[in-house]
Structure 1
Amino acid sequence: MRARLVVFPIKGRKWCFSRSVDPFAAQSPSAVTPTTVRGLWKKISSESKPINANAELLVDFISDKMNKAWMGLEIAPEGSMKSKIHGLGLKLLARVKPSEIFLKSISKEVTSVQVSYPPSLDPRLVRRRLRHIAMSGTILHKKYLIGSVTLLPLTTAFTVLPLPNIPFFWVLFRTYSHWRALQGSEKLLKLLSNHSNPETDDADESNNNNKPEQEAQSPTCVLLPSEELYKLLGEASEEGLDEETIVEICKLFHLNKIDVLKYRNLV
């Protein structure tokens, strides 16, 4: 499966990295997970799979349960306890960095990436920035994943309280989120590194300036300049792109407006 990535400057030296979501894409059958603990155990015990594959299945099972619980909070009556928990959850989610959301979008099913960017940017710089965010993600989210796993047993102590164990579920979500971001970082780095050796890419750049960009492409990473994106960017001010322009870009490339605005408002 090919993922379409969109890269463009959004405010000063800040760049936005986002993945297009195909609104007509159907869910892959391989993404279907068991709905019960019994079904999960049956699938794990009946099929001969490596430990990491069973771990993925367990993570998907927990994720499915968390998503269903979150959907239940969304439809809760106004003013109820569930509605207040949902509001608190939205505030916490607003603090999640957009780079984490971007890396999580690079799922294990992705086999190649197509990068759309304004032609005013050097394609090799675009590739290096993508590689940098992937390499940073592997280090950062591995560290946070270990920290979240360490906190999980501690937050179970709050189950003695006559209230929903919000700390436990939040730490559980963060554990899952860092796991997915780590997997996405490693996947993206692999797809980008198939282009060339990261250690020699910068050194060879001066020797490759006269080569057509198509020769620098890899089957797993294709960079395509977008004139439409360039026209929408126009002359961005130091305050960054205005919301109207961001909305137009999101409509054109099927991006999540809330995630894109996070890049502009990131301190």
Structure 2
Amino acid sequence: MRARLIVFPIKGKKWCFSRSIDPFASQSPSGVTPTTLRGLWKKISSESKPINANAELLVDFISDKMNKAWMGLEIAPQGSMKNKIHGFGLKLLARVKPSEIFLKSISKEVTSVQVTYPPSLDSKLVRRRLRHIAMSGTILHKKYLIGSVTLLPLTSAFMVLPLPNIPFFWVLFRTYSHWRALQGSEKLLELISNHSNPKKPDSTDDTEESNKPKQVSQPPTCILLPSDELSKLLREANGEGLDEETILEICKTFHLNKNDVLKYRNLV
């Protein structure tokens, strides 16, 4: 599966890195991740898989449960305890850095990336910035993942209280989030290492090359494509960065999440 990444300056030296949302992308088939603990144990015990594959299955199971619980809070009546918890959760989620959201979007199913950027940016600089965000992500999220796992037993002690254990579920979510961001960092670093760099054929080597056995060239996993359309949308930018109207137009044109892009502009 190919992911389309959009890169552009948003305010001063700040760049936005976001993945285009494919409206026609198919969701993962239902039934792959067990819905019950019994089903999870049966799938793990009946199939001989490596430890990392079973860990992936466990993480997906926990993620599925967390998503369903969050959806339950979202539809709770106004003024209820669940509704207040949902509002508090939104405030916490607003503090998550946009780079983490970007790295989490690079899932294990992605086999190549197409990077769209304005022609005013140097392609080597774009690739270097992508490599930097991927390498720093592997270091940062590995450290935070260890810290979050360490906090899980401590926050689980609040289960004895009659109130919802918000600290435990928040730390559990952060553990999952850092796990996914770490995987995305490693995947992105792997993909951008094999970028497209077509070479022109040399007529002087035609005879020599014809005598060599032909090898099937592997397609590049990272393709850098400048976009005139994106460049036109950025022309209205000033020293203070892109205004919200321009950002909304870019998000609409390239199918980006508006809230994630705005986080880059508001990032201190």
> Please, what TM-score do these two structures have when normalized by structure 1?
0.91
Q: Deviations over 1:109-153 (max 9, x none)?
A: 000000000011000100000000000000000000000000000
The separation in 2 between residues aligned to 1:233 and 1:218, in whole angstroms, is 31
Q: Structure 2 matches for 1:162-173, cutoff 5 A?
A: 162-173=162-173
Question: Residue 253 of structure 2 aligns to a residue in which SS?
Answer: helix
Structure 2: stretches of 5+ with no match in the other structure? 201-217
CA-CA distance at 1:56 after TM superposition = 0.2
Q: Counterpart in 2 of 1:32? A: 32
Q: Counterpart in 2 of 1:119? A: 119
The separation in 1 between residues aligned to 2:222 and 2:31, in whole angstroms, is 24
CA-CA distance at 1:75 after TM superposition = 0.2
Q: Deviations over 1:24-82 (max 9, x none)?
A: 11113388311011111111111111000000000000000000000000000000000
CA-CA distance at 1:235 after TM superposition = 3.8
The separation in 2 between residues aligned to 1:215 and 1:147, in whole angstroms, is 46
Amino acid at match of 2:231: Y
Q: Counterpart in 2 of 1:55? A: 55
Q: Counterpart in 1 of 2:229? A: 228
Q: Structure 2 matches for 1:11-90, cutoff 5 A?
A: 11-29=11-29, 32-90=32-90
Q: Deviations over 1:214-249 (max 9, x none)?
A: 449961000011100000000411211001100010
Q: Structure 1 residue 245 and structure 2 residue 254: aligned?
A: no
CA-CA distance at 1:195 after TM superposition = 3.5
Moved more, 32-41 or 55-64: 32-41
Question: Residue 164 of structure 2 aligns to a residue in which SS?
Answer: coil
Q: Structure 2 matches for 1:189-228, cutoff 5 A?
A: 189-195=189-195, 214-215=198-199, 219-228=220-229
8 Å contact kept, 2:195–2:223: no
The separation in 2 between residues aligned to 1:94 and 1:215, in whole angstroms, is 45
CA RMSD of aligned residues (A): 1.6
Q: Counterpart in 1 of 2:10? A: 10
The separation in 1 between residues aligned to 2:33 and 2:263, in whole angstroms, is 31
Amino acid at match of 1:125: L
The separation in 2 between residues aligned to 1:76 and 1:30, in whole angstroms, is 25
Amino acid at match of 2:125: L
**Stretches of 4+ moved more than 6 A in 1?**
none
The separation in 2 between residues aligned to 1:122 and 1:215, in whole angstroms, is 19
Q: Counterpart in 1 of 2:130? A: 130
Question: Residue 95 of structure 1 aligns to a residue in which SS?
Answer: coil
Amino acid at match of 2:44: I
Q: Structure 2 matches for 1:83-162, cutoff 5 A?
A: 83-162=83-162
Q: Counterpart in 2 of 1:209? A: none
Between the two proteins, what is the percent identity of the paired residues? 88
> Please, what TM-score do these two structures have when normalized by structure 2?
0.91
Who wins on radius of gyration, i.e. which is larger? 2
C-alpha change, 1:40 and 1:240, in structure 2 (3 Å) is same
Amino acid at match of 1:224: L
Structure 1: stretches of 5+ with no match in the other structure? 197-212
The separation in 2 between residues aligned to 1:125 and 1:52, in whole angstroms, is 34
Amino acid at match of 2:112: S
